[in-house]
């Protein structure tokens, strides 16, 4: 990793992250480490934007000459009708996590789906035609289910609010005539049923994630898992938990104890960032350096 200090000057190209809040994001150190590694005169800044002010933020980014920005919760959906053009993935997922600004125009991309597929690849998992169980049906699940549908997978989506899972399955079924999608409730019996013969389990719920307060004050909160203790975790399956803080969740421990393989969401985070980096700079991203920058903050390997 380059250690020389980057001086911000008049020629420095600026990108950033809009969200509310943004102060705990690892994206600034991750991208700035990548710029330093390649010796690029770029910088990545956190930009807290109130949910009521996303249209102004986009106009402001264009006016200020930013090269682009990432968007996180809760702005990914709000950007969809605001950008000038959407990629097919961003339109289908209904969320923009990366904006490319060029010649005064904003192109909305979604790099979460590609990041998820690259993370599966890193884990040595081929999703083509696989049988997957997705826990949760929120924003992250949309990118995951879209990615799995493009891989012609059989996907069961189980969610606390079952109507959302059923609607998500119906919405993404046309993505591939060879994909088979269905939705249901996140309850013991459907989890048991869906786990039979499954190759991949993806947790897209925040259950098990450290919150700012829980890390310090409420250790028991960290021990929550969406997987019931009464249902054996399928030992032949790969678990991908989209949570990366902590690096090992209670669900990951359940999977590992059952003899299954488990990985957290850091690889997906890094790969979605790497795809954005390449869109902005036109250069291959130094993925290992980006991963190391995140690990330095979050811990683990």
Helix (H, G, I), strand (E, B) or coil at 156: strand
Burial 58-79 (b: 16+ CB within 10 A, else e): beebbeeebbbbbbbeebbbbb
Q: Which is nearer to ligand NAP, 4 or 213 (CB)?
A: 213
CB of 120 to ligand NAP, least distance (A): 12
Asked whether the beta carbons of 204 and 138 are under 8 A apart, the reply is yes
Give CA–CA dist 39/34, Å, rounded: 9
Is 105 annotated in the active site? no
Helices 266-281 & 112-122 angle (0-180, nearest 10): 120
Residue 28: count other Cβ atoms within 10 Å of its Cβ: 20
Give the Å distances, CA to CA, from 203 to 5, 39, 49, 186, 258: 39, 37, 28, 11, 16
Q: Where are the beta strands (DSSP E) in the chain?
A: 13-19, 42-48, 68-71, 85-86, 98-102, 105-109, 131-135, 154-159, 180-185, 200-203, 238-241, 261-263
Interface residues with ligand NAP (CB under 6 A)? 73, 112, 136-141, 159-161, 164, 186, 204-207, 209, 226, 242-244, 265, 268-269, 272
**Smallest gap from residue 244 Cβ to ligand NAP (A):** 5
Torsion, Cα 196 198 202 206, to 10 degrees, reads 0
Residues 6 or more apart whose Cβ sits within 8 Å of residue 224:
207, 208, 250
Triad 233, 298, 2: Cα angle to 5°? 130
Active-site amino acid positions: 76
């Amino acid at each position: 990793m380059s250690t020389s200090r980057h001086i911000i000057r008049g020629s420095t190209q600026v990108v950033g992250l809009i969200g509310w809040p943004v102060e705990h994001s690892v994206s600034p150190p991750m991208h700035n480490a990548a710029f330093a590694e390649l010796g690029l005169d770029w910088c990545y800044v956190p930009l807290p934007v109130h949910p009521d002010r996303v249209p102004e933020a986009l106009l402001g980014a264009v006016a200020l000459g930013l090269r682009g920005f990432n968007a996180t919760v809760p702005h990914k959906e709000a950007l969809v009708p605001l950008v000038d053009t959407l990629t097919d993935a961003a339109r289908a997922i209904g969320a923009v996590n990366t904006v490319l600004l060029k010649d005064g125009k904003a192109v909305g991309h979604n790099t979460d789906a590609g990041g998820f597929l690259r993370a599966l690849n890193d884990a040595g998992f081929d999703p083509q035609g696989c049988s997957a169980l997705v826990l949760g049906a929120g924003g992250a699940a949309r990118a995951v289910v879209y990615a799995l549908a493009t891989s012609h997978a059989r996907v069961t989506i189980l969610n606390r609010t079952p109507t959302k899972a059923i609607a998500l399955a119906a919405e993404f079924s046309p993505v591939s005539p060879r994909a088979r999608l269905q939705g249901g409730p996140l309850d013991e019996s459907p989890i048991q049923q869906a786990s039979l013969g499954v190759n991949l389990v993806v947790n897209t719920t925040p259950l098990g994630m450290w919150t700012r307060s829980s890390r310090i004050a409420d250790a028991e909160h960290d021990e929550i898992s969406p997987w019931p203790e009464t249902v054996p975790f399928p030992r032949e399956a790969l678990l991908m938990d989209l949570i990366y803080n902590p690096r090992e969740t209670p669900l990951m421990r359940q999977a590992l104890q059952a003899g299954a393989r488990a990985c957290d969401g850091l690889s997906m985070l890094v790969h979605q960032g790497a795809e954005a980096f390449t869109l902005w700079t036109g250069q291959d991203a130094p993925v290992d350096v980006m991963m190391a920058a995140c690990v330095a903050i979050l811990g683990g390997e």
